[in-house]
Amino acid sequence: MRRVAERIHNADVLEFMPLHWFSPPVYVATSNPGERYAVSNVERAAEYLLSWRHSGAGESWREAVAVCMAALKGGASVADARSTFEAAARECGRLV
């Protein structure tokens, strides 16, 4: 019973964690031709980075993954996460 309560508590904590907002957003191409998406927070940037791991992931991509993960834990700034994400998007051919 205690484990169930811990999982519920942990899920509630994750649900209410504040997002780490970018300003301005970074626009990236989506899988739908002609569409773009405004990545406006570190959490979404991390999701996109992980989806790009098989399509041109190089040094900029590795740096962006590390910086975004650090930003989520408070070990890097949102501005650094944004700039490294933008560089990775450019490297992967996704920057719009």
Percent with pLDDT over 70 in the chain: 82
Q: Are 30 and 48 in contact (CB under 8 A)?
A: no
List the domain boundaries for the chain. 19-91
What gap in Å lies between CA 63 and CA 70, rounded to an integer? 11
pLDDT 10s digits, 35-45: 999 999 999 99
- Tally of residues, the chain: 96
pLDDT 10s digits, 53-83: 887 779 999 999 999 999 999 999 999 999 9
Predicted TM-score (pTM) above 0.75: yes
What gap in Å lies between CA 35 and CA 30, rounded to an integer? 6
Secondary structure of residue 15 in the 3-state scheme: helix
Q: Are 95 and 70 in contact (CB under 8 A)?
A: no
Confidence of residue 31 (pLDDT cuts 50, 70, 90): confident
**CA angle, 75 then 82 then 22, to 5°:** 100
Percent with pLDDT over 90 in the chain: 70
Residue 24, token pair as written in the block: 């301005």
